[in-house]
Amino acid sequence: MQIFQNKALLLRLKNPAPVLAAVPDSQAVDEHTVAVKWDVPQTHALRRLKLAAPSPITGRYNWPGKHRPFKHQKDTAAFLTLHQRAFCFSEQGTGKTSSAIWAADFLMTRGVIRRVLVVCPVSIMGAAWRADLFNVAMHRTVDIAYGSAEKRRKIIAGGAEFIIINFDGLQIVKDEILAGGFDLIIVDEASSYQNTQTRRWKTLAKLLKPDTWLWMMTGTPAAQGPEKAYGLAKLVNPGNIPKTFGAFRDQVMYKITQFKWGVKENAVDVVYRALQPAIRFTKEECLDLPDLVYTKRDVEMTPQQKRVYEKLRKEMLLTAGGETVTASNAAIVMTKLLQISSGSVYTDDQNTIHLDISSRYKVLKEVVDEAANKLLVFVPYKHTIRQVAEKLRADGVTCDVISGDVSASDRTDVFHAFQTATDPRVLIIQPQAAAHGVTLTAADTIVWWGPVASLETYAQANARIHRHGQTNKCTVVQLVGSTVERRVYSMLDDKIDVHSRLVDLYQSLLD
């Protein structure tokens, strides 16, 4: 089938079976051809007749935004526009957020939907979804429903076309959402809805009216076991699965002991059928993707971190009013602020104060759970490295550590195991300890727990996965929890060495 910029499909009846072709409006229509209006309702009608009508987005949409979509993004958007309820299982870093925005915007232009509710983790409400909406669909109104219950209610009642809300926020304002006229619900990182017994799952289920569109997106739909597919399938297409969880579990697993289950040989096929309709692209398949994709995740500082951070910032204001700020003084203060954001502060007498890092770790764990392959986690301060490693191991994630305390020979052994063995899945690294030379292409995702001030260290650390031998597209995730981190990341992204602008950075934090 050849697609042109056109307003109609032509149904050619001369052949033994009807054939659909998209052609220019100016082409002559003979006695064997019927012109068919090409819009969303007509496309669905033709597909119910078993005719492979393409989505009208392929010929009737100008794909707005700062960047042109890649082919796999167009394919994903076209798929979503043709499925009222569907899954997108594309890997992290393939641009599925933008694909969903284009698909939703097209449906808005055709009058199929009016409002969209995006449900996602707090960490990506602003850094991913709002940012992508501003870049892709800047003509649409966007707001984030976060904060007190009253604030959420006002935002939902405000009428923005796209409302972004976190998972647990749904329960707080479910009545307002039901009355808010949301035609499409997009759930990002949908693996959080695997368990039908949670309040989170039950709340979402109650929000789904018969005519509600629902797109659920995750790169790891059943990574923790085939039985985890049940909750997702029950939301999107319950007709694909048995009515009870027990019956579905019996299809994919067998009982070994009272508390131990094994996976049946046909489990993959059963899960595949259950999680339909679905579309998936791996980073390896997206040959037109940039080699290295950068993304940010917002992290809310814990109350303890906020108190310490603000105390130091107030001291900065007093200092700035009484003396000239030098690069040396600025460097000391910047380092302290970054340490507070990261979770471990070094005192003047060389002691270490450990701060609550639960919020930041929660976001890191989200990234780890979403990643299809191995990961590097760069943590600038070694005392924080220990905290992160302990938490990952407690959650059953295999990991190893590279810091200045690890000898050269031991580092070689760790790097070799990471490259060649199944475990560890995560390598936690102090950036200066592995910024040059070493190849770690077993990973295709890097997470920056916090930024470094050296542009060279930052670039060289990212190059550990983005080098010869890498077979996948790569993603760099920056965790951002404070103003100083955001500004340091911005300078690094603009290829500015932070050390050269320390005084300017210091002064900007006083505003």
Q: Do 71-279 and 292-299+356-483 agree at the fold level? A: yes
- The residue among 503, 463, 466, 509 whose CA lies nearest residue 485 is 509
Nearest Cα to 194, choosing from 226, 242, 241? 226
pLDDT at 156: 96
Q: Where are the domains of the chain?
A: 8-54, 71-279, 292-299+356-483
Query: Count of CB atoms within 10 A of residue 382's CB?
Result: 16
CA–CA distances in Å: residue 271 to residues 76, 85, 251, 283, 369: 21, 17, 9, 22, 19
CATH 3.40.50.10810 for domain 71-279: yes
pTM: 0.74
Q: Tell me, what's the pLDDT at 80? A: 97
Q: What is the mean pLDDT of each run of 10 residues along the chain (511 residues)?
A: 40 46 49 68 81 84 91 96 95 89 96 96 85 93 95 96 95 95 95 94 96 93 86 96 95 89 92 95 81 90 90 71 62 86 78 87 94 94 90 96 84 88 95 76 95 88 83 92 92 85 77 62
Q: What is the pLDDT, as a whole number, of residue 359?
A: 93
CA gap 432, 426 in Å, rounded: 18
Q: What is the pLDDT of residue 404?
A: 83
Distance CA 293, CA 128 (A): 13
The three-state secondary structure class of 196 is: coil
What pLDDT score does 13 carry?
Answer: 42
Q: Name the 3-class secondary structure at 27.
A: coil
Residue 434 CB contacts under 8 Å (≥ 6 apart), including other chains: 402, 411, 415, 440, 461, 464
Q: Does domain 292-299+356-483 have CATH number 3.40.50.300?
A: yes
User: What distances in angstroms separate CA 198 from CA 167, 202, 204, 236, one per listed residue?
Assistant: 12, 6, 10, 17
Residues 6+ apart with CB under 8 A from 438: 415, 464
42 with 36: CB under 8 angstroms?
A: yes
